[in-house]
Structure 1
Amino acid sequence: MDIKTLTKQKIITEVIKHGHSKDEWRVMIIDEYTASIITNVFTISEILSYNIISLIRIEEKEKPNLKEFSVIYFVKITETSIKSIKKDFKKKSFKSFYVITANEITSNQLNKIDLVGPPEISIKQLNFGFVPYESRVFIVKDNLFDGIKSFSNIFDINFNVCYTNDLTKDIAFTLNDYFEIQKKKNYGNLIILDRSVDLYTPLLHYYTFQAILHDFKFLVDNFYIEKEIHFEESDKLWTSIRHGHIAEINNILSEKAKILVSGIKKLEKDIDIKDLAKIVAETPENLKLKSEVEMFLELLDKSITKFELDNLPLVSDLEQSISTRYTKSGNKYREAINDFFDILKNPEIRKHDKLRLYLLLLVSKYTLEKNEEQHIIDKGWLSKSEINLKNKIKKMTEYFIIRKELNREIKYDISRYQPILKDILYSFHEKKKCFINIIGCKEDSATEEVSLRQGGFVFKSNNGDSTKKKKVIVVYFIGGVTFAEIAIAYDVSSKLGIEIIVGSDQILTPESFLDNINKK
């Protein structure tokens, strides 16, 4: 289930081709919200290939003179967008008007844009309450209920809603009441988690490639700022390395480089015409691969350099010992406070990392004496307001359950902590007890044998068996999800042969999570 591809299909069918004839060229007007959807699933050239002559933002005060063309508005209906549509309508700025709303609208709003022509106007509600971020990741920017309802309607999935504690109980009940009366062609489970279910993960540095590139701000939303390149999932090299540990990336890229070099060596030998023709045909692809390998090696080098400059080997060892409660040698960890003060005294360690370590201690239920807190403030290691974040952390940890067992699946000392999401997904799938209690689970019919000629979106099993649907699990984090958890969703989905989708209101890095805590 690739939600970006399915979203793209939906927009082509319901928006771009709405009221369309083959010979007609049209203008498309979008707003800030729908632009975030469009740019995540289309390239500009793809949009224009559907007889769209121009893509315009509704916020533009002066629109180009395109009166001979029809217009498609794909926007959220607000007072501002209503004014803009009415203004264009009165000026007869376009030959005919097609308005597709990205949100549910009231009868009052409908009356305001249900204008009497000429020109002709057509209005359709689509209600797109989520933004596809990756093939298995979506973001709900506004109301959670509307976002999940929209996701359900767009992909024709009915959900059994589960939750883990009182923080998510009310929204789970509200959604279950809604889904009990819905009839959909597909079925799945929706697990709603509050961020407090795992407070370690957003505070830790994770060293998978995608996570660290965002942590170090080389990427923002998979966009390489320096070179203005968006890393797409259609790029096989990117998808093969994004969830790999930085310790592994060099080996993967080196193997790719060897393939390129072997091609060059072939050209240095006497080869027959058929082999030469094949090498020539592969050259454009190899040139692209060469460019990508060089770019990713450069990013890897930048990441490792920053890792060393920021003294992260020392910081990471301490944060892993605090979060796992074990040393890298597997012994019980008992020196957290002493080691923390050693870090505070080190002028070469960033204040940002000192604050994260302080919060990790608080999350782990360690406490500092009043005189220790004052000493930290007096020395300027942390500010009084930063020390007082303990009050906010105390509230957040009310529902946080610390894993007591040591994770034995350790490959790298700096990555010993395993996000709790992995425990939740495996225990949920295998119907086993977890130290996190998941409430509201029912047997679902997602894997029942059915006829798949009913229409709607079909989620086939990997073995190509078209009579069996893959089990669908959507995990929604209230309060943000991390790249580490996203990587786990992809990994578990692949290993178990089920469809795992992750949703949230935002993608978190350690820095953005600190910002969130400060704003609480």
Structure 2
Amino acid sequence: MSSIKELMKKRILVDMIQSVQPPGKWKIIVVDPKSIKILNTACRMHDILEENVTLVEDLTRKRQPYPTKEAIYFISPVDACVDRFLADFEKGKAMYAAAHVFFVAGLPDHLFEKIKTSAASAYVKTLKEMNVDFIAYEPQVFTFEQPLSLFPLYNPQAAGHQAGEITSIAQRIISVLSTLGDYPYIRYYSPQGTQNTVASKLAHRVQQELDDLCRLDPDFPPPSPYKRSVLVIVDRALDMVSPLVHEFTYQAMMNDLLVLEGGKYIYKTEGGASTDASAAQVTSASLDENDPIWMLIRHWHYADAVEYIRSTFNKFLTENRAAATAMEKEGGDASAKGIDSLKQMKDTLSSLPQFQEMKSKFSVHINICQECKTMFERRQLDMVAAVEQDLATGESVDGRAIKFANVMMDMVPALDSDNVSPTDKLRLLMLYIITQHGIEDDERRRLLGYAKLSVEDSQAITNLSLVGVRLSKSKEKSKEDKDRGRYTYHLHNRQKKRKGETYDLSRWSPVLKTVLQDQIRNQLDSTIFPWITEPPPEDLAPPPPPPPTNATKTPREKALALIPPDPSHPTSLRTTRASWATPRKKASDDTQPDTIQQSQQQTQQQVSSSELRKNGPRIILFSLGGLTFSELRATYEVIKELQRDVIIGTTHIYNPVQLVEILKDLGNATPSSEIVKGLAASTELLSSASASVGRGDADNGMSRSSTSVSLARDGKEKGIRGMFSGKKKDKAG
């Protein structure tokens, strides 16, 4: 059994493209805007063209006829796409010799009849429903890319559209389950024990759709040697803290602080040592499974990622005399102490045009690290995040329960600072209200005055009530905590075992991680997460835990395991230590990947899904109303920690800025055109790379920086790790 991304690739390449073998060998694929996204996230164009495909064309555009070639139509089952398909074969002017039509999802009866009675029916050789109506975002992650689903789900003014939205989402979940071959037991989040929550409504609708699928297809589900899976459905109301807290792991930090163009990172590269601005080239980078460095460090803390990049880059210079010589000729310093600055590394790459492979591996990540560092300091996120962590966890860095009166005093400098962006101030205020279970109206007005926020910004706070957040103080606080049980914010976080080295500004752990851990351990509270049909105990009882991963590994396998370079550095990002400046092992240690090739091998050493399923039933968690990058990271940590197959899905994956913008608009009957346009751009996977890279931060128009970023540890510079010391102060270090 493969990951969900590999299963999607198989469905497209094998079950669709390879199933069509025309007499003339060559074939054409016709796609629509939705199906091309599915295609692009599952396969590379190289994979498709290797299957005797000569062209991939857009159904919505004017195309040249190829009357001697057969075409594969991979399209959505909607009127507009079906009408365009039929137009290709009307009035005897056939666009292609034959049509093999594969629909993304189930075809409505009226459209089937429309095709059946049309002139195109004489050319149709294949008509099939693929049930692949989702985006395989990562190996264990899927999304529907429905960023506006929060409006019909949570806005009372759009209540008439809620049932239709839930039905649409349920049908897309069926596509996922059909691809996985799973008929799971279903449970859902309902803290007050009612069936009126959106998670409850979706869970019952999915069960109904599953039962219908079983009636229509007697071969579903296919036989399996594994225990029946479990589908857990939650909604965004489970945890409104995680979408607002600044997360400083690499993937999450990048998506929070930097502006991406069409899902790609856009940056400038220099062709050589020339300082001429015209020599710079705009480059786009897709961060995915094809980038071994990305796959290795995406869930590491930013400071650890920078240390890995710096030490590996220095190792390359040390071991490659030609590179060191070339750098010296360009006026660089190839001394034994190596490179201590991201800016130095960037300049060094410019002086090594002959080492293109190395440049392509490192340049994108050096630029990302440099930009993140600049934004962190410019926006005084050390001060902001220190308060956020105290609010979210309910504890200070030394593990003592905080006094909220003191936290408010710590908030004021951040709210009053001109360097802290309005969005960061707004996130801080929302966290304060959420974790306090509401505040007095006078207090809210006073804090808004400190922050100097606009009426539009304050509307985002008001709209928190639509997703279950209490805005005003109430005597029912204890009842709310009781309803949520151990999944109350502060209680959930204090129950976490804290071990190993980590960072003061990364003490918060998403509630979703606790839910996954409890489900795997059969400890998930059935009063808060009731079953639709409760499984027998033997279907959930896991076998004895597997032996420690390292116990049966050879030294080489240990060196290539997908772990940070230091074995004592866990994936958990929590600690009770007030000081966390303990350095990891150096790049020269035997557990550190020696080359990029070894880094790539690390990503291929993961235990297969089929092996993990032997340890217990697969867990599929679906979050209605969005997921965050911190929750994606937490899911992979659970898989590694508990050695179980976990797949996580959602309506959309948001960065914090996107969610805040939606909250500003959520009280309106329909989203504004600005929201629709902005979210459409963020989800457009095919958009061409923009030539404009001078946008930097989304909040205040900051340009991208070329500031030197020091990594030195000579006492004069606090270094990357010192950025996250959590000290509350008015200035960024």
Unmatched runs of 5 consecutive residues or more in structure 2: 147-167, 215-219, 268-282, 325-352, 471-479, 544-605, 667-733
Matches within 5 A, 1:110-509: 110-114=112-116, 115-116=118-119, 118-141=122-145, 143-165=168-190, 166=194, 167=197, 168-179=199-210, 183-186=221-224, 187-219=228-260, 223-226=264-267, 227-265=283-321, 288-334=357-403, 335-365=406-436, 367-375=438-446, 381-395=452-466, 396-397=468-469, 401-404=488-491, 405-406=493-494, 407=496, 408-409=498-499, 411-432=502-523, 437-440=528-531, 442=535, 443=537, 445=539, 468=614, 471-509=617-655
Aligned-partner residue type, residue 103 of structure 1: A
Output the CA distance in 2 between the equivalents of 1:368 and 1:257. Answer: 50
Opposite residue 403 of structure 1, the aligned amino acid is H
In 1, Cα distance between equivalents of 2:444 and 2:517: 41
Correspondence 1:70-81 to 2 at 5 A: 70-81=70-81
1:412 and 1:170, CA in 2 relative to 1: closer, same or farther beyond 3 A? same
Letter in 2 for 1:104: G
Over aligned residue pairs, what C-alpha RMSD do you find? 3.2
**8 Å contact from structure 1 (residues 161, 172) kept in 2:** yes
Distance 1:434 1:403, change over 3 A: farther
Q: Give the aligned residue type for 2:513.
A: K
Q: Distance in 1 between matches of 2:609 and 2:71?
A: 44
Give me the whole-angstrom Cα distance separating, in 2, the residues matched to 1:231 and 1:518: 30
Q: Given residue 664 of structure 2, which amino acid in structure 1 is its aligned partner?
A: N
2:250, 2:184 → 1: CA distance? Answer: 33
Q: Once the two structures are superposed, what CA deviation does each residue of 1:92-122 show, in whole Å capped at 9, x if it has no partner?
A: 1111111111121122101212234654543
Determine whether 1:9 maps to 2:78: no
Shift in Å, 1:219: 3.9
Say yes or no: does 1:108 pair with 2:110.
Answer: yes
Q: What is the CA deviation profile of residues 148-203 of structure 1, one whole-angstrom value per residue up to 9, with x for unaligned ones?
A: 11111112111111112142122222323454655333431111111111110001
1:53 is paired with a residue whose SS is strand
How far apart, in 2, do the equivalents of 1:494 and 1:285 lie? 39
**Deviation per residue, 1:63-109 (Å, 9 max, x gap):** 02322211111000222112211111122111111111112112210
Equivalent pairs counted in the alignment come to 496
Aligned counterparts of 1:54 and 1:446: Cα–Cα separation in 2: 48
Superposed CA offset, 1:348-392 (max 9, x none): 211111111111111113555444444556677122343344443
| 1:433 CA drift (Å) | 5.2
CA distance in 1, matches of 2:84, 2:656: 40
* 2:98 is aligned with 1:67: no
**Structure 2: which amino acid aligns with 1:394?**
S
Which residue of 658, 663, 669 maps to 1:517? 663
Matched with 1:95 is: 97
Shift of 1:222: 5.5
| Greater RCO (Cα-Cα under 8 Å, separation 6 or more) | 2
Comparing 344-353 with 387-396, greater Cα deviation is found at: 387-396
- Partner Cα distance (1:463, 1:507) in 2: 23
Instruction: Say if 1:467 and 1:135 are closer, same or farther in 2 by CA, change over 3 A.
Output: closer
Q: CA deviation at 1:215?
A: 0.8
Render the CA deviation track for 1:407-433: whole Å, top value 9, x for unaligned: 535721111111112211111111235
Give the corresponding residue for 1:34.
35
TM-score, normalising length: structure 2: 0.63
Superposition deviation, residue 263 in structure 1? 3.5
**CA–CA distance in 1 between the matches of 2:653 and 2:529?**
23
Whole-angstrom CA distance in 1 between matches of 2:527 and 2:412: 32
Residue in 1 that maps onto 2:47? 46
Taking structure 1 as the reference length, the TM-score comes to 0.87
Distance across 2 between alignment mates of 1:403 and 1:224: 35
- The letter for the 2-side match of 1:488 is A
Residue deviations 1:321-373 (CA, integer Å, cap 9, x gap) = 11111122322222233333332221221111111111111111355544444
Distance 1:315 1:464, change over 3 A: closer
SS class of match (2:64): coil
Measured after TM superposition, the shift of residue 461 of structure 1 is 6.4
- Higher percent of residues as strand: 1
Q: How many percent identity over aligned positions?
A: 21
For 2:23 and 2:380, the matched residues in 1 are separated by: 60
Q: Which amino acid letter does the alignment assign opposite residue 115 of structure 2?
A: I
* Runs of at least 5 residues in structure 1 that lack an aligned partner in the other structure: 269-283, 450-459
In structure 2, do the counterparts of structure 1 residues 300 and 2 end up closer, same or farther at CA, with 3 Å as the change threshold?
same
Say which is worse superposed, 252-261 or 235-244, in terms of deviation: 252-261
CA distance in 2, matches of 1:21, 1:475: 41
CA contact (8 A) 2:613 2:645 kept: no
- Please tell me whether the aligned partners of residues 448 and 469 of structure 1 are also in contact (alpha carbons under 8 angstroms): yes
**Alpha-carbon separation, structure 1, partners of 2:437 and 2:171:** 39
Separation in structure 1 between the aligned mates of residue 261 and residue 138 of structure 2, nearest angstrom:
14
The 1:311–1:444 alpha-carbon spacing in structure 2 relative to 1, beyond 3 Å, is: farther
SS in 2 for 1:508: coil
* Aligned equivalent of 1:280: none
Measure, in 2, the Cα distance between the counterparts of 1:40 and 1:294.
24
